[in-house]
Amino acid sequence: MKLAPSILSADFSSLLEDIKKVEDAGCDLLHIDVMDGHFVPNITMGPPVVKSLKGKTKLPFDVHLMIENPDRYISQFVEAGADIISVHSEACVHLSRTIQLIKSYNVKAAVALNPATPLDVIEYVLEDLDMVLIMSVNPGFGGQSFINSSLTKIEKLKKMIESKGLNIDIQVDGGVKADNVKSVIDAGANVIVAGSAIFGSEDIESTVKQFRQNII
């Protein structure tokens, strides 16, 4: 299991210190939630913030774009240091083109699906992807409750990937905590985003350990 703490729940006034904590605790990726106030009802950060973190942490940047028409900003996030870029199928008119654009920069490409979006929308682009992001909350805010129908969706996606003989990561984002991570992993996910559960914890190191112990 790869753990990707979402900095949405970090303390922005001491962001780098918080990032060091998750790095020291053995997390694998840094999940960066970008929101535009259009696609989702919240505004977070843009390329300058991401760029300011470049070279300050060993954690790869997993950039989750919750923005309309993301093509306009892909190059800026690449320049800012993104290693993985996720775009929402619901926000792309030409999803295949957007995926090719991300890949043209030698950055890993992922597609995110809202809870109500069926898996069919990625059927014909699946082989072009490095990762699929299953949203287990409606995007926009940290600290929401896990939507249980996501488990069936993860299982179906896993089967879809296996039936095509592909090797694609399944990331799950929203409402994942140490006490429900096992069901998410058992359903077939291998990359877990956790915001409030990790950054909201008093003891980040022991929370990360708990996540890892609970999936055994």
| Residue with Cβ nearer Zn ion (64 or 153) | 64
Cα–Cα distance for residue pair 160/113, rounded to 1 Å:
15
Q: Name the segment binding Zn ion (CB under 5 A); options: 18-26, 64-72, 95-103, 152-160.
A: 64-72
Does 31 contact ligand DX5 by CB under 6 A? Answer: yes
Structure tokens at 91: 């926000």
Calculate ∠ Cα 126-119-133, nearest 5°: 70
Does 64 contact Zn ion by CB under 5 A? Answer: yes
| Residue with Cβ nearer Zn ion (15 or 162) | 15
Cα–Cα distance for residue pair 139/48, rounded to 1 Å:
22
37, 41, 118, 143: which one binds ligand DX5 (CB under 6 A): 143
70, 174, 187, 192: which one binds ligand DX5 (CB under 6 A): 174
> What is the closest distance, in whole angstroms, from the C-beta atom of residue 33 to Zn ion in the complex?
4
Q: What is the length of the chain? A: 216
What are φ and ψ of residue 28, in 5° steps?
A: -105, -35
Cβ atoms within 10 A of the Cβ of 195, count?
A: 24
Where does this chain bind ligand DX5 (CB under 6 A)? 6, 8-9, 31, 33, 64, 137, 139-144, 173-176, 193-197
